[in-house]
Structure 1
């Protein structure tokens, strides 16, 4: 019971901290004249990934590298299959052209890069520097792109302009929100990691499995809240953009910072991550592009397929962790996980009409 309360308290701290950080940073950016477009593509998307950063870095400092890596890989799988799946069930999700032409390919590229640097079984210091340098370059690229686009592009963004007269338009209030958010994230991540490790020991489940499931879902709560709320309100492009942007930052920013925090030892990747989980993450990233292109939307039935795949993935992890009697036949089906997922997306391409220009 104590560990459960600690886990819930940590989760609340992460969600609260992310919200405070996003609000404070967004207001501060707008105060300094940074366009709403850049704020939406960077601060909001990156801010919803702040719990993943806090938990993964904290886990690395505690020597729990499996938890750190599992958190990122599991969060990316959860974001696409569960969050987009349940959001699409609420309402078919419209996909913005920029996401198809730019953001999704960048997310796929980041996933391929993670696979490439991790093939030797670890993310070393140089690899971490590369990942972190790329997230900085990506942010700079978005800023330059926004400036070139001019005021017209900024006006298309869904982020509201800074309203005069509100309490958080003042610099002290903005700084207080940022500091308060960071404090809540640090405290929340410490509580969540402590509780998760305790759960793993009690249940006889590895840190990796806990990271891939419970912690991954917990740290993705800001993305869940943002995407589902956006879907309910009809802001369907935000629901998709939030997930894609967060996934890119999880790989480049979160693992980059975690690798730097690990120092010269680096992040050791468990064999199961290299042989299965990272391939699942890459498969769901690749599945986004053809699904998004066809009709430029995620239909309800496609959302149901995504949810079914996530349920199958979690079931496999649980059976494998417990060496359940049903594991052999289930493993046979899951060995072809990438193939049926690819077939589904190809069928979508063939059956759905091309978008009208």
Structure 2
């Protein structure tokens, strides 16, 4: 029964995120902001909402290791499989602002996470935690990022190239957005409770299930959204979605989760965070080559994820 409910939870998450992205993206277009900004904010927030819901519910229910594992696993999945498959389907165009500002900001957030959980090394205490004060620091970082993207959006608002279709109406898209949020919340609760039950029955640790089953499940909206955007040749939305999602995952998801309750850190996670940082650097390197990520780079990223997945499964 738990497997069936987990599947239903994933369906609700994915469909909810799909409705949320469609509705909120159209609202953003009605406000006449650029595709890259839509990817970085509205779409990124929408596709990150499953991670947020799952991690916050996990924190409230005492399964706090799931919260950290979910975010790190989702970010690694985004940086490898999501970017990789999207780039294989259609080369991803990278804007200079993304190379100079957004990807470095993602790198900064990842390094900040590594520093904030290194309590034993830096303070000599008995255990590593992501504390409430750490969570507040992340939320402050998020406010800086949001100020930046809003400023960019206002500056480029009049330069929006695409005309809004007459069929795009406010009421319909507000309804889609609300229904999407409801689906995400209900689905997130089902994924956490049933995913944790299955993990325990299989002898898996909370950290491993967060890094694998739940991370992949909650990252499916990013995968679907980025692949769809790449196939429609809207690569700015595809890459903006991935970069924005990773920023939201660290700053908002972990910030909110640890502000609710301190998150204990499994020592194995340090390796995963290091992998996440290296992959962010690799994305930055790939992005600087002709300002696009092509099929070769995409294939390399997919292979890296397969190797990483095998490693964490055997590590458990």
After TM superposition, the score normalised by the length of structure 2 is 0.90
Q: For residue 67 of structure 2, what is the aligned residue in structure 1? A: 68
What 5-or-longer segments of structure 1 have no aligned partner? 322-357
Q: For residue 268 of structure 1, what is the aligned residue in structure 2? A: 264
2:133 is matched with which residue: 126, 135, 153?
126
Whole-Å separation in 1 of the counterparts to 2:294 and 2:38: 28
Contact in 2 for aligned 1:29/1:39 (Cα 8 Å)? yes
Give 1:169 deviation, angstroms.
2.1
Q: For residue 306 of structure 1, what is the aligned residue in structure 2? A: 301
Aligned ranges 1:1-357 → 2 under 5 Å = 2-29=1-28, 33=31, 35-36=33-34, 38-120=37-119, 121-152=128-159, 154-155=160-161, 162-164=164-166, 166=167, 169-171=169-171, 173-262=172-261, 266-274=262-270, 276-321=271-316
Whole-Å separation in 2 of the counterparts to 1:203 and 1:122: 26
Whole-Å separation in 2 of the counterparts to 1:299 and 1:163: 31
Whole-Å separation in 2 of the counterparts to 1:93 and 1:73: 23
Whole-Å separation in 2 of the counterparts to 1:130 and 1:308: 35
Give 1:217 deviation, angstroms.
0.7
Whole-Å separation in 2 of the counterparts to 1:254 and 1:315: 26
Contact in 2 for aligned 1:41/1:245 (Cα 8 Å)? yes
After TM superposition, the score normalised by the length of structure 1 is 0.81
| Distance 1:304-1:36 versus aligned 2 partners, 3 A rule | closer
| Distance 1:213-1:28 versus aligned 2 partners, 3 A rule | same
| Distance 1:235-1:13 versus aligned 2 partners, 3 A rule | same
Contact in 1 for aligned 2:40/2:237 (Cα 8 Å)? no
Give 1:27 deviation, angstroms.
4.3
Whole-Å separation in 1 of the counterparts to 2:232 and 2:27: 26
| Other structure's SS at 2:16 match | helix
1:81-112, CA deviations, whole angstroms, 9 ceiling, x for partnerless residues?
11111222223322222211111111111111
Whole-Å separation in 1 of the counterparts to 2:76 and 2:104: 16
Contact in 1 for aligned 2:32/2:157 (Cα 8 Å)? no
Give 1:125 deviation, angstroms.
1.0
Contact in 2 for aligned 1:79/1:247 (Cα 8 Å)? yes
Contact in 2 for aligned 1:55/1:190 (Cα 8 Å)? yes
Whole-Å separation in 2 of the counterparts to 1:14 and 1:150: 31
**Bigger RCO of structures 1 and 2 (CA < 8 A, at least 6 apart):** 2
What 5-or-longer segments of structure 2 have no aligned partner? 120-127
Rg comparison, structure with higher value = 1
